[in-house]
A and B are shown apart, each in its own frame.
Chain A
Amino acid sequence: MKNENKIQYIYGIADNALILGQRLSELCGHGPNLETDIAMTNMALDLLGQTRSYYQYVAQLSGDGKTEDDIAFLRIERQYKNVLLVEQPNKHFGYVITRQFFYDVFHLLLLEELQNSNDETVAAIAKKGIKEVSYHQRFSSDWMKRLGDGTEESHQKVQEAVDDLWRYTDELFHMTDDDKIAVENGIGVNVATLREKYEQRIKEVFEEATLTIPETKWFQKGGKQGIHSEHMGYLLSDLQYMQRTYPNMKW
C-alpha cells in the first residue's frame, strides 16, 4: 500500500475527530450547566488528542518535514475528508447531542474493528480511543433519552435535530477508493459492514428515548471527497486564523 493511500485513509478518520472536536470546543463555557460543560469539553479533549496521534503518524509517514499543525491548519477545504455530519453547527443542545450520538455510535464500531488493523500504530491509536469513545457514546445516549423522554419541549427539539441530521448518517458507511485499498491491505475497516449494528444501536436508544427515525430516502454526501457544506469554510476560518495570519512561526 502506498503511503499516500494510507495517509488519505487516516485523514478519513482523523479529520472527523478534529472537526467534531473543534465544534465541541465552541461550546466551552456556554453549556446548559457546569457538569455538562465539563463533560463536553472532555469529549473535545479526547477527540483532539486522537487527532494529534493520527496526524503525528501522518507527519511521520509523509516524511517531508510536515508537522501535525501543518496538517491540521494548512490544508485547503477540499483536502479535509471529514463527513458532513461532524461539521454541522451547534444550532441548539439537541443538535449537539444528536450529532454526537450519531457519530459516537459509528465511531465506537469503527474503532472496535480498527484495533485489529495490521498497521500497529493505527491499531494502537484505535485501542486507546475505544475507552474514550465508549464514554462518549454513553454520554450522548443518556442525553438522547433525557431529551427524548424528558419534557414535551425537549422531545420536540431533539426530534427536530434528528430529522435534520439523519440525512448525514448514510455517508458514514460509504467506501472511498482509499478505504477500499486500506481494507485490501488489512489496514482499514470496511465501514459498509457496520451499518446493521449501527442501526440496531440507534433503534435501541430511540426506543427508550421515544424518538423516531425519519423515513427519508434522501441522504447527503460529499465530505469524504472533500466537498463540504457551507458551514465548513467558517469553521476553517477560525481554526486556521493564526496559522494563516502568521505563517511559519512557532507557538
Chain B
Amino acid sequence: MSEKEIKNNETEKSLSLEEIFEQRIARDEKIEPKDWMPEKYRKTHIRQISQHAHSEIIGMLPEGNWITRAPSLRRKVALLAKVQDEAGHGLYLYSACETLGISREELYEQLHTGKAKYSSIFNYPTITWADMGAIGWLVDGAAIINQVPLCSTSYGPYARAMIRVCKEESFHQRQGYEIMITLANGTPEQKEMAQDALNRWWWPSLMMLGPTDAESVHTAQSMKWKLKRKTNDELRQQFIDQTVPQAELIGLTIPDPDLKWNEEKKGYDFGAIDWDEFWQVVKGHGPCNKERMAARVNAWEKGKWVRDAAMAYAKKQEDKKLKKAI
C-alpha cells in the first residue's frame, strides 16, 4: 500500500469509529474510559470536568472564610460540613477527569497557572454572614440548574459523579435558603444583612449560568454530546422563575427594577445583565481573583514537603516489606 492509501484507509477507519461513537451517544449509551472517543470529546470533557472540579475547590475559599466566625455552633458545624462536601465533590470530579488520561498534578498545574478556569462567582468577596445564606440559596441553586442535566450526560464517570454531587447540592441549597429565612425573620439588622447579600449576589448568580447563547462558543458541540441539555439562556430563565417566588416568600426584594412577570411566556422578564463586569471577572480582574489563586497556590506549595514526606515514607515501607519477603 502506498502511504496515501494507508492514510485513506486510516481516515475511513476512524470515520467509522466516529460514526459508531455518535450513534452510541444518540442512543443515550454511556461512554466509558476505555471506549474509543474522538480526541475533541476527550479534550472538551477534560476542560469541562476539570473546570467543574476547580470550581469546587476554589469555592471552598469564600465560604471557608466564615467558618471560624459562624454565629452559632449549629451553623458552624453545618458550614464546615458543607465546605467539606465541596472538597469531596472536587475529589470525585478530579477522579472522573483522571479517567480521561490526565493526572491530578497536571490539572492543578493548569489551575495554578491560570490556564484552566473556574466559576467566576467565587471571585466575589464574602463580607457578611448573610453571604453564607445567599451563596447556598443562589449560587448552589444556579449550580443545581446547571448540573442536574449532567446526571444523564454521555460520559459515564462524569454522569455518576454528578448524581452524588447533585444530591448534596440540593441539601446545601435548602440549608442556604434556611439561613436567609432566619435572617429575613430576624431583627431589622439581620433583615438588612440578608437584603444586602441578595443585592450583591443576584447578578453574579445570573451570570453564573454562562454567556448568552449568541456569545457561547461551546454550546452547539456540547449539546450534541449531551454535555449540555439546555442553553445558557434557557437555564437562566429557569433559575429566575424558580428563585423570584422564593425571595417574595421571605419578604426580600430582587434588585432588578425591570423584573416583571410575563404572562405570555409564563416566565419573568428581567433587566440587562452587565456583561462587561462578567468578562472583567472571567479575565482575572474581579474583586478576589488574585486572593483566591494565591490561597490555592499557597496551600499547594506549603503542602509540598508534606506530600513529599508521605511519598518517601510509603516508599520506605514498601522497601521494608520487599526486604522481608526476600
Enumerate chain A interface residues (CB-CB to B < 8 A).
Answer: 22, 25-26, 28-38, 41-42, 44-45, 48-49, 51-52, 55, 68-69, 72-73, 92-93, 145-147, 149-151, 153-154, 157, 238-239, 241-243, 246, 249-251
A242-B313 in contact (CB<8A): no
B87-A48 in contact (CB<8A): no
A44-B80 in contact (CB<8A): yes
A28-B80 in contact (CB<8A): yes
Q: Can you name 7 A-B residue pairings with CB atoms under 8 Å?
A: A25-B67, A34-B91, A52-B74, A150-B313, A238-B68, A239-B69, A251-B182
Q: A249: which of B91, B190, B309 is its contact (CB, 8 Å)? A: B190
Is B113 among interface residues, defined by CB-CB distance under 8 A?
Answer: no
Is B73 among interface residues, defined by CB-CB distance under 8 A?
Answer: yes
Q: B308: which of A26, A41, A45, A154 is its contact (CB, 8 Å)? A: A154
Q: B307: which of A28, A32, A157 is its contact (CB, 8 Å)? A: A32
Number of interface residues of B (CB under 8 A): 49
A28-B313 in contact (CB<8A): no
B60-A250 in contact (CB<8A): no
Q: B129: which of A36, A44, A72, A242 is its contact (CB, 8 Å)? A: A242
A249-B306 in contact (CB<8A): no
A48 and B72 CA atoms in complex are apart in Å by: 11
A250-B182 in contact (CB<8A): yes
Is B164 among interface residues, defined by CB-CB distance under 8 A?
Answer: no
B307-A52 in contact (CB<8A): no
CB distance from A150 to the nearest CB of B (A): 3
Interface residues of B in 272-315 (CB under 8 A from A): 295, 298-300, 302-314
Which chain B residues lie closer than 8 Å to A45 at the CB level? 77, 80-81, 84
B313-A52 in contact (CB<8A): no
A52-B83 in contact (CB<8A): no
A59 and B299 CA atoms in complex are apart in Å by: 39
A interface, over-half SS? helix
A168 and B71 CA atoms in complex are apart in Å by: 30
A246 and B189 CA atoms in complex are apart in Å by: 8
Closest to A26 in B: B68
A52-B87 in contact (CB<8A): no
A55 and B73 CA atoms in complex are apart in Å by: 10
Which chain A residues lie closer than 8 Å to B84 at the CB level? 28, 38, 41-42, 45
Closest 8 CB pairs of A and B: A32-B303, A150-B309, A154-B309, A242-B71, A29-B60, A29-B64, A32-B306, A251-B71
A239-B57 in contact (CB<8A): no
Taking A41-B84, A69-B71 as known contacts, 8 extra A-B pairs with beta carbons closer than 8 A to each other, sorted by chain A number, are: A25-B76, A32-B302, A32-B306, A38-B87, A72-B73, A153-B308, A154-B308, A242-B69
CB distance from A168 to the nearest CB of B (A): 21
A149-B313 in contact (CB<8A): yes
A250 and B71 CA atoms in complex are apart in Å by: 9
A44 and B189 CA atoms in complex are apart in Å by: 31
CB distance from A49 to the nearest CB of B (A): 7
A30-B299 in contact (CB<8A): yes
Which chain A residues lie closer than 8 Å to B240 at the CB level? none
CB distance from A96 to the nearest CB of B (A): 10
Is B90 among interface residues, defined by CB-CB distance under 8 A?
Answer: yes
Closest to B187 in A: A249
Is B88 among interface residues, defined by CB-CB distance under 8 A?
Answer: yes
A150-B71 in contact (CB<8A): no
B306-A147 in contact (CB<8A): yes
Q: B77: which of A34, A52, A93 is its contact (CB, 8 Å)? A: A52
B73-A28 in contact (CB<8A): no
A38-B88 in contact (CB<8A): yes
A91 and B131 CA atoms in complex are apart in Å by: 29
B299-A32 in contact (CB<8A): yes
B69-A238 in contact (CB<8A): yes
A92 and B304 CA atoms in complex are apart in Å by: 12
Is B75 among interface residues, defined by CB-CB distance under 8 A?
Answer: yes
Is B208 among interface residues, defined by CB-CB distance under 8 A?
Answer: no
Which of A35, A92, A151 has its CB near the most chain B CB atoms (within 10 A)? A151
CB distance from A249 to the nearest CB of B (A): 6
A28-B83 contact in complex given A48-B73, A154-B305, C-beta closer than 8 Å: yes
A29-B87 in contact (CB<8A): yes
CB distance from A144 to the nearest CB of B (A): 11
Which of A28, A149, A241, A250 has its CB near the most chain B CB atoms (within 10 A)? A28
